[in-house]
Amino acid sequence: MVRDLDIRILAGEEMRRATALKILCVLTFISTAIGAFLAQNEVISEFIWSTLVYSDHIMETGHLSGDGNNPGYIVILSIFRLILGVSPELVVVLPIGILIGPFIYYAVTRSLFGTKLVALACTFYILTHITETAWHSVFAYAWARPLYLLCLVILISGLASSQNRIDNRYLYLFGIMVAALPWLHYTPEAWLILFAGTVLIIGYLDGQPWTEYLALGFVIMMSAYIGSTRIIYDTFLPSLFAMVEQETHSNPVQIFIVQIMSMIVGETSAVSKYQVAAGSPIYSRVRLAINVLIAGVILLSAPFVIKRIIAGIRASKPSIELPTYVYVGLVSTLFFHALVYGIVFSLSTQPLIFLGPILGLLALDQITKRKKVFVGFLVFLIVLSAVSVILRLGQFDIYYRRYSLIEPGVRWFSVYAQHDPYQDISVMSSSHLFYYFNYIASPENFQSVSINADHYAALVGDNKSVSGSADYMVADMRSKEVVVQGEHLNIQYEPLNTHHAEIQANTELQKVYSDGMSDYYRIEENQTSK
């Protein structure tokens, strides 16, 4: 195992089992308390609402509809609804993920590094990460990412179990788990494939005897992923082809750089007139500091790792150590995940954030063996994570995403919106609202239209026309909406309530509904242009 890293921090002072159990109990209490707070405030991932549409089909017919990218997760959600016998609005806020995730993370990091203190520090970090990213409930990440960690540690254990071959018991267990993983979510299985592919290539060049067994595992993972992951064919490839066909499109790399610069220096030139950086300045900078800390250690270790790999390949016998394989496999996962998401969707550093302490400790091990360095890294990571989660919790109660606030308007839309029943109706809004439309207004045929730079300018009367872009527009004019989510996760605009007067004066917008939270406007042809 990777415990051979020889980073047993405070080795002679490791806490007794009883003390560690007490700390785990405290973590359990903290996890439950945070989960209850988030559930009370209805803080969840909006993706859950779209999933409930497919869960409803299971509850009504007893079988899958054939739609949805994560059918296994949908089945789990349906089982919870059936067993508990409560409304889906209550099921989706159950704090399951914040109870499962930290303990799996503790078990895996304890197995990797062999030290309770390191494992507890990593557990505290992942507890803050789960809280900030809203997969503390029954979202797909709550099931898929812990299973990914277990698959990863089994794969590493298999590589370390024998110098000549991988124990077949590892292959059996690994095969069963990786076959189930893509049914829960599509990214963790891809992470395992990237990890195994990288380790396989380097192991082959290094002359490792286990490469043929790892190749078998790689084939199993690829077969399971390609055969059961619909998002490749339904979303990824169509988005890629559409981007290639477009003459002009948003550059996610440019947008990401603009946001990073705005976090660092406070102000920078925006990609469009009304675009803003994501998140509050203070929280964004703390979150950025965490990412920079981890990424900085990774970059510093790169020359040492490259030197070891080159020396190992040139040697007459296998000489690259297992920790180096694990580290390079995880770094390649981070790189290719960011690259693919940046090309097709928007730049994402999910592996960096999720595996942060693991990547950081493995990177430091490539540079030094000094215990003080490892302790300092973990201390900085814990302090920054604590500050980050406190800032994040303070933001949740102002988010314009609570089901109870949005539900009345969408209910009205699904019943009273005027449109031809044989023709789709289009709704323009901040992108996060569409998940609620998918769930509540699912009997209606509607198309979602994300607000882009041209739409925004037209809505506020900036010498453009919004007519023909959509049938309806939904906005919050009561200062609850912090930002307007654009067509990509990294594209956000000023809240529309900052331009209340301009929107009210727009002759193409006719208000048809208002409930104190949401305003619905019918988009009509500008009469003055006739």
Residues 6+ away with beta carbon under 8 Å from 13: none
Beta bridge partners of 492: 276, 485
Pairing, β 275-276 against β 484-485: unpaired
Closest of 460, 472, 468 to residue 429, by C-alpha: 472
- Is residue 201 one of the residues assigned to a domain? no
Pairing, β 425-429 against β 472-475: parallel
**Tally of domains in the chain:** 1
| Per-residue confidence (pLDDT) for residue 263, from 0 to 100 | 47
| Per-residue confidence (pLDDT) for residue 193, from 0 to 100 | 93
**Could you say which DSSP state residue 422 is in?**
T
Rounded-to-integer distance, Cα 515 and Cα 523, Å: 19
CA 475 to chain centre: 26
* Residue 266 structure tokens: 């406070």
- Is residue 94 one of the residues assigned to a domain? no
Rounded-to-integer distance, Cα 306 and Cα 312, Å: 10
Rounded-to-integer distance, Cα 422 and Cα 147, Å: 44
| Per-residue confidence (pLDDT) for residue 380, from 0 to 100 | 93
Rounded-to-integer distance, Cα 218 and Cα 175, Å: 10
Please classify residue 292 by burial: count the beta carbons closer than 10 Å to its beta carbon, then call 0-12 exposed, 13-18 middle and 19+ buried: middle
| Per-residue confidence (pLDDT) for residue 293, from 0 to 100 | 92
- Is residue 462 one of the residues assigned to a domain? yes
- Is residue 473 one of the residues assigned to a domain? yes
Beta bridge partners of 450: 429
Three-state DSSP at 91 gives helix
Rounded-to-integer distance, Cα 393 and Cα 98, Å: 15
Closest of 462, 503, 497, 505 to residue 480, by C-alpha: 497
- Is residue 37 one of the residues assigned to a domain? no
Q: List, run by run, the mean pLDDT of 10-residue segments along the chain (530 residues).
A: 47 54 75 80 78 82 69 86 84 86 90 87 89 81 92 86 64 82 88 93 88 85 81 70 56 53 49 68 80 92 92 84 92 88 72 93 91 92 90 64 82 76 79 81 73 88 83 78 73 83 88 87 68
Beta bridge partners of 276: 492
- Is residue 469 one of the residues assigned to a domain? yes
At 277, the amino acid letter reads A
CB atoms within 10 A of CB 223: 12
- Is residue 324 one of the residues assigned to a domain? no
| Per-residue confidence (pLDDT) for residue 300, from 0 to 100 | 94
* Domain span including residue 418: 405-478+490-514
Three-state DSSP at 226 gives helix
- Is residue 437 one of the residues assigned to a domain? yes
